[in-house]
Amino acid sequence: MTAANIAFAQVIPQSILPERVISNNNNNNNNNSKDNNNMTTDYSQSASHDGGQIILAFDLYGTILSTASISHALSKHFGQDRADGMAAMWRTLQLEYTWRLNSMGQYQPFSTVTRSSLLATLRSQGEILPEDDVGALLDEYNNLHLFPDVAGALKALPGIAGVEAYVFTNGTDGMVRSSLSGSPDLAPLANVFKDVVTVEEVRAFKPAPSVYWHLLTKVGKSREQAGDVWLVSGNAFDIVGARSLGLKGCWVDREGKGWTDACVDGKEPDLIVKGLHEVVEKIRRVQGN
């Protein structure tokens, strides 16, 4: 899909979610509350008498989807030894380009940024791939694997009273649609999310303030109610951006290294979890319900 063909639709419950998912969302599918993943916590009993709503905005890349998992596709061209480093460089440049565009007051769709950062990675390694192979790698970016803790945690959410889950991402409408409809890992979980919020309408990337104000609008909250919304992200810059505007921040520290970001004092996460399976339980403890 080219940039010109990407629709600037932001919260897209009917257009971005596959028809089978829309149908599932309209049914009370209790099967989703069951889980065979031993990392899942069963919150259904304690949540049935919760004292308040929890709005969860899940970052996609680096929180739900592992960007490092693209190394498998890269290994087919360069071998696994080189692929891991190239995947890390691709992600680093991808994020760098979004920040540079923000700083310059410019915008390109995330699909374009992802392509540009891939090409820069290849050039830095002295590599050139045919256009068909570049396109195939970009298609694989829409099939990134979930982190191990994600599937069980997301499957449990529909059975938890008072929880609304959203995807909140730099990704484009087209990229997210492809993942939600075609990714073997993510597609079965698409019906967990009430809506998908992308950044295309505001034409900026995280952590620009306009992106988080946009999220609040789409989940039905005013700026004064920013503290009612929890951003769940594995990206420190995302947490700091949200916290700077009054949103709550739940940082996913899968490596267990602790919070080290020192960009802005006093904007540490409200919560730190080891995986998504801990999110709801810890938020309920903080909120006292």
Q: Are residues 272 and 173 in the same domain?
A: yes
Question: Looking at residues 247-257, what average pLDDT do you find?
Answer: 98
SS (H, E, C) the chain: CCHHHCCCCCECCCCCCCHHHHHHHCCCCHHHHCCCCCCCCCCHHHHCCCCCCEEEEECCECCCECHHHHHHHHHHHHCHHHHHHHHHHHHHHHHHHHHHHHHHCCCCCHHHHHHHHHHHHHHHCCCCCCHHHHHHHHHHHCCCCECCCHHHHHHHHHHCCCEEEEEEECCCHHHHHHHHHHCCCCHHHHHHCCEEEECCCCCCCCCCHHHHHHHHHHCCCCHHHHHHEEEEECCHHHHHHHHCCCCEEEEECCCCCCCCCCCCCCCCCCEEECCHHHHHHHHHHHHCC
Domain of residue 100, CATH code: 1.10.150.240
Q: Are residues 239 and 113 in the same domain?
A: no
Q: Are residues 227 and 132 in the same domain?
A: no
Q: Are residues 156 and 137 in the same domain?
A: no
Q: How confident is the model at residue 287 (pLDDT cuts 50, 70, 90)?
A: confident
Q: What digits encode the pLDDT tens for the residues 135-153?
A: 999 999 999 999 999 999 9
Domain of residue 263, CATH code: 3.40.50.1000
Does residue 25 lie in a domain region?
A: yes
Q: Is the pLDDT of residue 195 over 80?
A: yes
190 phi/psi in degrees, rounded to 5:
-60, -30
Question: Out of 5-14, 110-119, 258-267, which region has the weakest mean confidence (pLDDT)?
Answer: 5-14
Q: How confident is the model at residue 92 (pLDDT cuts 50, 70, 90)?
A: very high
Q: Are residues 159 and 279 in the same domain?
A: yes
Number of domains within the chain: 2
Q: Is the pLDDT of residue 22 over 70?
A: no
Q: Are residues 74 and 41 in the same domain?
A: no
Does residue 271 lie in a domain region?
A: yes
Q: Is the pLDDT of residue 53 over 80?
A: yes
Q: What digits encode the pLDDT tens for the residues 197-231?
A: 999 999 999 999 999 999 999 999 999 999 999 99
- pLDDT value, residue 17: 52
Q: Are residues 29 and 155 in the same domain?
A: yes
Query: By residue range, what is the domain housing residue 206?
Result: 7-66+145-287
- pLDDT value, residue 182: 87
Of 141, 175, 195, the position where a domain reaches its end is 141
The percent of residues in the chain predicted with pLDDT above 90, rounded, is: 80
Q: Are residues 170 and 282 in the same domain?
A: yes
Q: Is the pLDDT of residue 29 over 50?
A: no
Give this prediction's pTM: 0.84
Question: Out of 3-12, 59-68, 79-88, which region has the weakest mean confidence (pLDDT)?
Answer: 3-12
59 token code pair: 């970052």
Q: Are residues 199 and 239 in the same domain?
A: yes
Q: Are residues 179 and 204 in the same domain?
A: yes
Does residue 2 lie in a domain region?
A: no
